[in-house]
């Protein structure tokens, strides 16, 4: 046997490692961790196309003078998310994963020469949107019960951040409450440890604190993640965790939490004596669940968040320069979001369709308020609302869903309610390669 044949024979005897997986739903809606077997490279993703007719005004003054906008409406076409997932298993427990996300069609901008304006260079914005690196991590898996991961990570606080694929919620858009008061999908550069032991799974994370400069009235801490700079400021640190239990067949119960200071996590000067003692500690506790059977699927969540020193941070932000990154708004001391959805698969009653297709009739209820509690009577009433929705989800195949939904946002009586009709189509799964 020559030397080349000898080495080829050795290579053929080496075990082939499996690729890292992502969570998906099976035909019954059960969330599982899956991966193509005997492959090192994984390619997948998800995407959504949506059309909505909103039977209310989109003016930013609609809450200030609601009587002027009582009979207005508007429509929208959108690509909320399109994500490409790339992963690779290096072997010996080492792997990497990445997600590149295009929100609302990405961005289209260019520098052009304006011939009619004396040859001036002018920046043309052809379309809005965002392109973001939502995940990039390197992981070492020591055993099923212990893996260490570092990089850009999803912070799995609440139901939507942990399960944000379009096949993991009924509505055309992500659940409105969590998507309003928290970053969604929340991702930060950090380090985590995670594992699975029997019916239990856990994840614990160390990450940079949020930036209180960019908190706001409607969205609470929503815009405090990420960074407007080329780096993430980490003057303050935070911790997060999630625990899942699947002891009962078809049922997942989960708790998650977050704590970290947010003030002084900025480049803006904060050394003034009157700012002494401000921490802006953000604390979030969350519970969520999912239950699935052949015919029935239900999900729900409850989130409660608290911000210390909210009045002083509100005053500080309002006093900031108009050219700063701050929204310069009042911020809630506490925020809340709760909701539940349930659907029945009518194709489970038809033997010829039961194995290949699903048709859910669903209903959803939400209540959320970014200013659930305020310091010194700073309350803004329009941030609290209920939302009721009903519609259908049709799965012609496992990884593709067609959605239709009618929803109405119910505000306090001095404001206008916000009804809408939405249609969408989405996919989530692995590509051929």
Q: State the burial class of residue 276 (Cβ atoms within 10 Å of its Cβ: 0-12, 13-18, 19+).
A: exposed
Tell me the percentage of the chain whose pLDDT exceeds 90: 69
Please indicate, yes or no, if residue 10 is contained in any of the structural domains. Answer: no
Is residue 165 situated within a structural domain? yes
Domain residues for 321?
Answer: 39-106+126-427
CATH number at residue 379: 2.40.160.10
Question: Residue 214: phi, psi to the nearest 5?
Answer: -110, 15
pLDDT in tens, 161-205: 999 999 999 999 999 999 999 999 899 999 999 999 999 999 999
Residue 28 forms part of a structural domain: no
pLDDT tens per residue across span 286-342 = 999 999 999 999 999 999 999 999 999 999 999 888 888 888 899 999 999 999 999
- Select the highest-mean-pLDDT range: 26-30, 45-49, 373-377: 45-49
3: in domain: no
Identify whether 5 is part of a domain.
Answer: no
In a domain, 1, yes or no: no
Q: Are 316 and 330 in contact (CB under 8 A)?
A: no
In whole angstroms, what is the distance from residue 314 CA to residue 220 CA? 11
Instruction: Name the residue among 106, 110, 84, 81 with its Cα closest to residue 97.
Output: 84
Number of domains in the chain: 1
Contact 61, 70 (CB under 8 A): no
Mean pLDDT (the chain, rounded): 87
Whether 383 maps to a domain, the answer reads yes
Quick one: average pLDDT of 373-387? 82
- What is the distance between the alpha carbons of residues 123 and 365, in angstroms, rounded to a whole number? 44
Specify the pTM: 0.86
> Does some domain include residue 231?
yes
pLDDT at residue 416 above 80? yes
Which pLDDT tens digit goes with each residue over 168-180? 999 999 999 999 9
Handedness of CA 263, 266, 272, 273 (dihedral sign): positive
């Amino acid at each position: 046997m020559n030397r080349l044949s000898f080495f080829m024979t050795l290579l053929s005897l080496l075990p082939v490692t499996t690729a890292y997986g992502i969570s998906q739903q099976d035909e019954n809606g059960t969330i599982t961790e899956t991966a193509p077997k005997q492959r090192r490279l994984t390619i997948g993703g998800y995407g959504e196309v949506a059309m909505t007719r909103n039977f209310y005004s989109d003016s930013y003054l609609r809450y200030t003078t609601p009587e002027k906008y009582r009979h207005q409406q508007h429509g929208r076409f959108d690509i909320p998310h399109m994500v490409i997932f790339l992963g690779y298993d290096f072997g010996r427990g080492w792997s990497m994963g990445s997600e590149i996300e295009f929100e609302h069609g990405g961005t289209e901008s260019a520098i052009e020469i304006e011939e009619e304006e004396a040859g001036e260079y002018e920046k043309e914005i052809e379309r809005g949107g965002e392109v973001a690196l939502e995940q990039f991590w390197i992981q070492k898996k020591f055993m099923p019960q212990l893996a260490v991961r570092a990089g850009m990570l999803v912070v799995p606080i609440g139901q939507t951040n942990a399960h944000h694929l379009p096949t993991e919620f009924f509505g055309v858009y992500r659940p409105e409450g969590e998507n309003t008061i928290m970053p969604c999908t929340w991702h930060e550069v950090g380090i985590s440890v995670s594992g699975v032991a029997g019916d239990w799974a856990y994840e614990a994370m160390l990450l940079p604190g949020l930036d209180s400069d960019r908190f706001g009235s409607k969205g609470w801490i929503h815009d405090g993640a990420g960074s407007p700079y080329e780096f993430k400021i980490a003057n303050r640190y935070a911790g997060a965790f999630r625990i899942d239990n699947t002891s009962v067949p078809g049922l997942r119960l989960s708790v998650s939490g977050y704590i970290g200071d947010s003030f002084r996590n900025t480049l803006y000067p904060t050394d003034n004596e009157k700012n002494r003692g401000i921490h802006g500690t953000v604390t979030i506790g969350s519970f969520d669940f999912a239950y699935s059977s052949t015919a029935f699927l239900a999900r729900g969540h409850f989130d409660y968040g608290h911000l210390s020193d909210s009045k002083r941070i509100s005053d500080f932000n309002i006093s900031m320069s108009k050219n700063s990154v701050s929204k310069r708004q009042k911020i809630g001391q506490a925020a809340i979001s709760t909701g539940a959805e349930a659907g029945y698969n009518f194709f489970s009653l038809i033997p010829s369709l039961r194995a290949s297709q699903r048709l859910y009739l669903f209903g959803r209820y939400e209540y959320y308020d970014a200013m659930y509690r305020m310091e010194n009577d700073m309350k803004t009433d329009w941030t609290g609302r209920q939302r009721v929705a009903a519609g259908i989800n049709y799965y012609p195949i496992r990884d593709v869903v067609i959605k239709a939904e009618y929803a109405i946002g119910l505000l306090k009586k001095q404001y206008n309610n916000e009804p809408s009709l939405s249609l969408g189509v989405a996919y989530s799964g692995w590509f051929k390669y």
